[in-house]
Every structure is written in structure tokens, then in C-alpha cells.
Amino acid sequence: MDPAPAEALSDALMEAGAESVSLESLSPDPAVIEPGGRMRVVALAAAHTEPAALVAAAAAIADMVPPGFKVAAVEEEDWVRRSQSQFGPIRISGRLWVVPSWHTPPDPAALSVRLDPGLAFGTGGHVSTRLVLQYLETNLRRGERVLDYGCGSGILAIVAGMLGAGEIAGTDIDPQALETTVANAADNGVVVRVALPDALPPGTFDLVLANILAGPLVVLEPLLAARTRPGGRIALSGILASQAAEVATAYARDFDMAGSVVDEGWALVAGTRR
């Protein structure tokens, strides 16, 4: 399938219960991902998982027709070493890298976030995450209060802290993600206050970040608007380019929208609270 829906299905498979998901290029050279080239989505699931149910659930989350698939048994091997070999440093911009703990930072002068792939979403490898990180690098003002809604691994909150944010809060519906965020933040010398959405203390923020999916973002508009102070800003990602207008329209009721940034079929939508 095309890259954007392949990435959307990849995220949805993880949300539906897959243990790991990877994308493979169908170009003549599998190591080369060609712009617009076709992709194969490969998911690893527990032996008791019903494949058809997993694919159907993921397709429903991604709002797409369930794709055809094949099933194969996987032999036991050293999955830790194999997984580590697939993840190297990721360059986000000229001054920002995301570096797994088993690698040396490629550029000692750059800002390096130490972050290992794990149970929570957000390693910097996905375009939607990179879009928000690049937004932060350009737009964050020192001392601002930041909310990372749907924090996953905590990467957005951590980078905000490393770039000079003041108080930082993170929330997620997954308790494991909250634990991961706290641990990853501590590894990078950043303090992030975390809570489940219903337990997040009252208050508004200068900058609200949400890298989720278009459907949930539309539903969350009243809640996220209430968490953004007048004059504050919001940055939304996890949105296919074809969905950007729908999300922008939903948020235009409370925000002056600044348009969208599109990269590889994914979009970031931003605005300022009225």
C-alpha cells in the first residue's frame, strides 16, 4: 500500500494489540524507501491472537477497508539484539537527534534525546512525531507551560524541556505510557508531571501538543481548547494530509488556525487560542 495509509495502519495495529509492527519497502532495493513507493506492513502478534480480528480492529481504528494479509509462524531468536540492530540515531533537524541508549550520539554539539524504542509510541522515527519536534524547535518560548496530551514515550514533553520549557505536564490513557514518560524524562534530566486524563489538575497551558489520530483529535477539541490559555497555541499531529482540513475546521471554533505543514503524506495543524 502507499506510505501514508501504511503508516496509519501500522499505528493502528499497535493500538489494536500487535506486539511490534514494521514497514518494508517493496522497491527493488528493500533498503531504499522511494517517495510514493509501495510499502508492506509486517506485524508481530502473540500466538493466541486471531489475525483476522487484529487486522479488522486496526482497520476500524485507521478508518480504512481491512487489507488482505498473510500469516506466517515466527521462529524463536534473540529479539532484543535483532530489534536493537533496526534502530539507530534519528536526525530530526540540524541541531536535534533522537539516539537509542546503545548508540553514541553522532554529533556531540547537537541536542541529543536519549530514548529507546519501547511499549509506548514515539521514538522520533514517525513523520508525525518529527513534525511536532520540528514545530517545538521553531516555536517554543523559554519558560512556557506545556501539555503533552497523549504523551506515549514522552518524547515531545522531553524535547520541550530540553528546549527551555517551564512546567511540563503529560497525560495518556495508558498507565504504562505515563511510567515510560517519567522514566525517559529522568534519563534526559527533564521533569514531567504526569496523570491520567481524568486526574490531570485544573489549569491552562501556553502550548498544548497532541500527536494522536484525526478522529480522536476532532472529538477532543472542546477539552484541548479548555486547556489552552487565551493567546496560547496548539499543535496537532498524527493527521493524514487528507484529514488536515477536517481537523482545522473543528478547531477553528476556538482557535485562529495557522494552516498546516505536510510531510510524506502527514500533516501538522497549528493555531492560536482566541
Look at the pTM and tell me if it is higher than 0.75.
no
**What Å distances lie between residue 74 and 42, 48, 117, 190, 250, CA to CA?**
12, 13, 21, 39, 44
Q: Which residues pair with 236 in a beta bridge?
A: 210, 269
Neighbours of 178 (CB within 10 A): 21
pLDDT in the model for residue 31: 47
Domain segments of the chain as ranges: 3-76, 125-273
pLDDT tens digit sequence for 104-163: 887 888 788 888 766 555 666 689 999 999 999 999 999 999 999 999 999 999 999 999
The architecture (CATH level 2) of 125-273 comes to 3-Layer(aba) Sandwich (3.40)
pLDDT tens digit sequence for 35-86: 567 888 999 888 889 999 999 999 999 999 999 999 988 766 544 445 554 5
pLDDT in the model for residue 121: 58
List CB contacts of 134: < 8 A, sequence separation 6 or more.
92, 93, 261
**Sign for the pseudo-dihedral over CA of 39, 44, 45, 51:** positive
